[in-house]
Structure formats: structure tokens, C-alpha cells
Amino acid sequence: MRARSEWLRPGAVALVFTGGVLGGGAREALVASIPPGAPVPLAVLVANLLGAFALGLLLDALAGNDSRAAARARLLWGAGLLGGFTTYSSLALASTALADTGELWLALAYGLGSVLGGALAALLGMMLAGAAKRRSRGGGESDA
């Protein structure tokens, strides 16, 4: 129970809040930069794929680091900024809206493609961070 209460401290909440404001603002800037008219909401797809990649990169880069700075980075950049940048609710709403207009297959492709693409993007981010860590330690291209 003690570890859980650490994340409820005002400083931790402030980090998540600050990151969330920045991430939400970044997503809105992305939405404004992509012209409408595509058959699916491209800005939501791009935000979710970029966010998943960045989260995989961040979490793998910080894996095994239990320092206070790493914990703060996870809160600010992971839960806060990337949590605010990505948007599951908009993905769900867009998929439902597509299905409601009779575009069931497009809705399924968009929803499943977003989730599977996000998983792949996160994996790629983790792989990139892992490769960078190995290179910085002089471990070469792979451990195999």
C-alpha cells in the first residue's frame, strides 16, 4: 500500500497534470495541422501511433532505473504527456461513428489497425531504446 501512496503525492499529481496539459495541447496542434477529409480520423491515428512508439521508447529506456528522476520522468512524460497526447476515447468514438454510418468494415479496420499498429509501434520504440542502450554499453548490435 505504501508504494501506491507515493504516486498520490501532490508533486507526482502535478507532474502528471502538467504533462497531460502539454500532451493534450500537442494533440490539438496535430489535429489542427492535418486537413480533414480522410475516410478515417488521421490525426487520432497518428497521435496514437506516435504516442505508443514514444511510450515504448521511454519505458524501455528507463527500465531498471528506479531513481527518483526516472520515476518523475515516467510520471511527466509517460503518464502525463503521452497519456494526454494519445486518445483511446477518440479512437472508440471514431470507430463507432464509422460503424453508425454503415462503414462497418472500415470501422473494424480502423479500430483493430489502430490497436495492433499501436502495439507494433510500442514494440519498435522498445527495440530502438534497447539497441541504443546496448550500443552505449558497448554491447554491439545484439545480445544473441
Q: What is the pTM of this model?
A: 0.85
Instruction: Please answer whether residues 110 and 40 qualify as being in contact, where contact means their C-beta atoms are separated by less than 8 angstroms.
Output: yes
Domains of the chain, residue spans: 2-136
Angle 18-46-16 from CA coordinates, rounded to 5°: 15
- For residue 75, the one-letter residue type is L
Instruction: Please answer whether residues 16 and 79 qualify as being in contact, where contact means their C-beta atoms are separated by less than 8 angstroms.
Output: yes
Residue-by-residue pLDDT tens, the chain, 144 positions: 455 566 688 899 999 999 999 999 999 999 999 988 888 889 999 999 999 999 999 999 999 999 999 999 999 999 999 999 999 999 999 999 999 999 999 999 999 999 999 999 999 999 999 999 899 888 655 544
